[in-house]
Amino acid sequence: MDYLYGPGHAGGSAPAGEQTRLEFQIKETQIEQLEAEVRALRGAGASASGAGSGLAPNNTGTGNNSSNAGVPPAPLSIPSSVDGVFARLAAALAESEARARDATAALEAALAADAVGSVGAMSNRATSRSESSADTEATAHRVLTRLEALSRENQELARMLAYGRAQQAAVQLQLLRRENAALRRENAALRRGD
């Protein structure tokens, strides 16, 4: 805790033994966090260097993967500058985001196809990946077109509803004016009768 409060700070009313124990726990936590950061940097370095050598990003270069049994593991290199680390991390992030976008698009297309009910037709027709991709894209296009049409209809209904509410308010206002006028006439007649 000296690094927080300076030397000689007793930390309030805590006994010296407990203070030392707390400092030890803090140091242990800091060491664990630093070790986790080192592991993360090594993992990022391995995935960035593995991406160029054709290794899967989850392969840490240990050679346990049977498909890469003949390929020697890529050497782990950690850049000496922070810019190099950021460049590698940015490249790995861009690659993972691209994979995530592709997976999301495929999932959305499959969900859209399932919602439309043409999954069976797609699986019967599709004989290759390009045909399957074209089918999912066509289905997704149909779904998007239908969603746009529904959105336009929804906006039109909202305009009609707003117009109807305005008309309803105008009718209610007119009815209240007539009722008010009738009550005034009745009030005036009662006053004359008194």
pLDDT less than 50: residues of the chain: 1-5, 11, 52-68, 119, 122, 126
Q: Which of 119, 124, 159, 154 has its CA nearest to residue 139?
A: 119
Closest CA to 3 of 21, 32, 23: 23
Q: What is the pLDDT of residues 102-127, one digit of tens each?
A: 888 888 877 777 776 654 554 555 45
Sign of CA dihedral 50, 51, 53, 59: positive
Tokens read off for 6: 């300076």
Phi, psi (deg, nearest 5) at residue 71: -95, 125
**Model-level pTM?**
0.29
